[in-house]
Structure 1
Amino acid sequence: MPLSDDRVARWSRQLIVPGFGEGAQERLLSARVRVVGVDAVASAALVALVQAGVGRIWLDDPESVGPADLAGWLFPPSAVGTPRTDAARAALAPLSAFISVDAYPMGGVPGAALVCAPSVAQALAAAEAARRAGIPHVVVEPDGDSGAVISVPPGAPCYACARSASGAGRPPQAGVAALAALAALELVQLIATPAAIPGRRIDLVRGVATSRPTARLAGCACAGAQPAES
């Protein structure tokens, strides 16, 4: 279905990006994205996904807003103590009238996922669920103001193959917003232009990003998936 005039006006700058176009925008507007983890790390990514035009965003986080979450882009001091999903919905609603932001529904079937989970175990579980569902997903590994973004299109080496085996594990700082925005951009590309990017890991250190293809570990369960084109 062609974009309506008001949607063309809303995303006019995006539509003229070479290689993007109306088809890509329509795929974004039709997308259902599960976001696992809605803390300060995810804040900038959520803003970017809404402004890019991802049609339906499902927030998956059972926790309440804490003081550490105020370092992100979403939560005002008055939100402390309220459910993260409710506070995030209230903050994101004014950014676009065309986007739906809701709590992740029981039995919901997303078409893509962004994983900003607060622990490695939760990130591995969410990424594995996305892999088994055959949907593109991006995992954020924060480390202070730096960290990494792992992009996993269907059939690519999984997050368990590409994650950091060791790291400083410093608590996220305000500068991690750049990492989250980068993760959102990766997911937007995976949704809007399928097969445009391969499985890859992007490390962001002191503002400098380096990218490398992910590699499958011997014996990993993801070896049974159809290899992604690289």
Structure 2
Amino acid sequence: MSLSDDRIARWARQLLVPGFGEDVQERLLGARVRVVGVDAVASAALVYLVQAGVGRLWLDDPEDVSPADLSGWLFPPSAVGSSRVDAARSALAPLSAFVQVDRYPTGGVPSAALVCAPSVVQAVTAAEAARRAGIPHVVVEPDGDGGAVISVPPGAPCYSCARSAAGAGRPPEPGVAALAALGAAELLHLMAQPGSVAGRRVELVRGVATARPTARLAGCACAGAQPAEA
């Protein structure tokens, strides 16, 4: 099935990117991405994914908008005290008529996941659920004025193998926007070209990104998820 004329017009520039044609755009439109954590850290990533044409975003966050969330790209001061998911849906709705943004449904089966969880425990739990489901996922790990993005395609070393053992906490703007956008770009790469991207950790320090392959820790349960030929 080919893209309709209105969808081609919406993503005309994106379709010109080498390696990113109609087939890839259709794949994105058919995707269901679970986003864990919808605070200021995730804001730029949500905007990125919607404008790139991911068909359905499932937002998973039980908390309300706090004053700290206003440093992101989504929430106006009037949203403080309201549900983060509801406020994010309202802010994202005008960005694309072809994307659905909903609350994560209990028992929903995503095809990919972006983890922007506010704690290490929540991040590990969400990433492990994605690993067990065999879906590509990316974890955004803020740290001081930068942080890291960990890409985990199926079969790669898991987030627990690649995560930082210590961190300085969630960064303020503008570092968090760059980090979140990088996380969204990594996830799009995993979805657009399945099997072509190895697991990696991308560090963002003072605006400079460096990448290295992730390595599996001895005895980690994720070893059982390796491809048969590995």
Secondary structure class of the residue paired with 1:140: strand
Task: Give the drift of 1:228.
Answer: 9.2
Runs of 4+ in 1 over 2 A off after TM superposition: 226-230
- 1:25-61: CA deviation from partner (whole Å, max 9, x where unpaired): 0000000000000000000000000000000000000
Q: Which amino acid aligns with 1:130?
A: A
Aligned partner of 1:224 in structure 2 is 224
- Give unmatched runs, 5+ long, in structure 2: none
Q: Which amino acid aligns with 2:30?
A: S
2:148–2:204 Cα contact (<8 Å) kept: yes
Structure-2 change in CA distance of 1:23 and 1:217 (3 Å): same
Aligned partner of 1:177 in structure 2 is 177
Structure-2 change in CA distance of 1:87 and 1:229 (3 Å): farther
Determine the C-alpha separation between the residues in 2 that align with 1:211 and 1:227: 22
Determine the C-alpha separation between the residues in 1 that align with 2:152 and 2:113: 10
Determine the C-alpha separation between the residues in 1 that align with 2:56 and 2:228: 26
Aligned partner of 1:202 in structure 2 is 202
Aligned partner of 1:26 in structure 2 is 26
Aligned partner of 1:154 in structure 2 is 154
Question: Percent of aligned pairs with the same residue?
Answer: 80
- 1:180-218: CA deviation from partner (whole Å, max 9, x where unpaired): 000000001111111232100000000000000000000
Question: What TM-score do the two structures reach when normalised by structure 1?
Answer: 0.97
2:144–2:167 Cα contact (<8 Å) kept: no
1:153–1:228 Cα contact (<8 Å) kept: no
Q: Which amino acid aligns with 2:161?
A: C
Instruction: Provide the aligned length of Structure 1 versus Structure 2.
Output: 229
2:37–2:61 Cα contact (<8 Å) kept: yes
> Which has the higher mean CA deviation after the structures are superposed, 27-36 or 189-198?
189-198
Aligned partner of 1:57 in structure 2 is 57
1:214 and 2:219 matched: no
1:149–1:201 Cα contact (<8 Å) kept: yes
Q: Which amino acid aligns with 1:75?
A: F
Determine the C-alpha separation between the residues in 1 that align with 2:141 and 2:216: 19
